[in-house]
């Protein structure tokens, strides 16, 4: 049985380009921080305020073009 250290040393922690691009887009456009996760073909974007989530929903198509993704965007407040 492998030790936890052996397993973690082989784990690939690379962040997908889409996640980085979305975080950069939100930071540049709104000067806010966001958490982004991937669940299948959906990018889950979690922000701290309802007003920011709504503003992002209104810019959803522009954001998809800017980050070059065809995945569905899901916005959460948290």
**What is the spatial distance between Cα 11 and Cα 26, in angstroms, rounded to a whole number?**
28
Half-sphere exposure of residue 8: CA atoms within 13 angstroms, side-chain side: 3
**What is the spatial distance between Cα 56 and Cα 66, in angstroms, rounded to a whole number?**
13
User: Per the domain annotation, does 3 fall within a domain?
Assistant: no
What CATH number does the domain containing 46 carry?
A: 3.30.300.20
The structural domain count of the chain equals 1
**What is the spatial distance between Cα 19 and Cα 15, in angstroms, rounded to a whole number?**
7
pLDDT digits (tens, 9 = 90+) for 47-56: 999 999 999 9
**What is the spatial distance between Cα 34 and Cα 44, in angstroms, rounded to a whole number?**
10
pLDDT digits (tens, 9 = 90+) for 30-42: 999 999 999 999 9
User: Per the domain annotation, does 6 fall within a domain?
Assistant: no
Domain extent, residue 53, equals 15-77
């Amino acid at each position: 049985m492998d030790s936890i250290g052996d397993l973690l040393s082989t784990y690939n922690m690379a962040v997908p380009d889409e996640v980085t691009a979305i975080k950069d887009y939100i930071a540049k456009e709104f000067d806010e921080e966001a958490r982004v996760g991937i669940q299948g073909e959906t990018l889950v974007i979690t922000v701290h305020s309802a007003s920011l989530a709504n503003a992002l929903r209104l810019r959803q198509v522009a954001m998809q073009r800017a980050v070059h993704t065809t995945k569905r965007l899901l916005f959460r407040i948290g």
